[in-house]
Amino acid sequence: MEMQTKSPTAKGSSDWFTGDVFVDRIARGQGDTPMTVGAVHFTPCAHTAWHRHSIGQTLYVTEGVGYVQSRGGPRITIRPGDVIRIAGGEEHWHGATPDNFMTHIAVTEGDTEWGAQLTDAEYQPPAA
């Protein structure tokens, strides 16, 4: 057993995120499979670029309101307590709504391949 010191909060790279996103690294895998766990904090309107993970990703929403969407699929509104499982190779994005902060715990397995930033039309929620 080892007590680890907390890593400093890091600002998300503008290559991977639009808006202000902050990441608290929690853990890295200890075995052969590359795995990371982090708390990702999105300010209103902030979101990831399109991306995919070679093995997959699980998101656990801890606070706020956000969106997640797979390429070609419906936009899903996510709230605290929601668990989202994203299959390996599935291109997707996730982030906060325009009016809310959103934090999720991201358990990422495998390598991440980053794609294009979302267009404004891809991010904008449908008119009510």
pLDDT, the chain, mean: 94
pLDDT attached to residue 128: 57
Instruction: Please count the other Cβ atoms lying within 10 Å of the Cβ belonging to residue 58.
Output: 16
pLDDT at 126 over 70: no
pLDDT attached to residue 127: 63
From CA 116, how far away is CA 128, in angstroms rounded?
27
Segment 10-18 shows an average pLDDT of 96
pLDDT attached to residue 52: 98
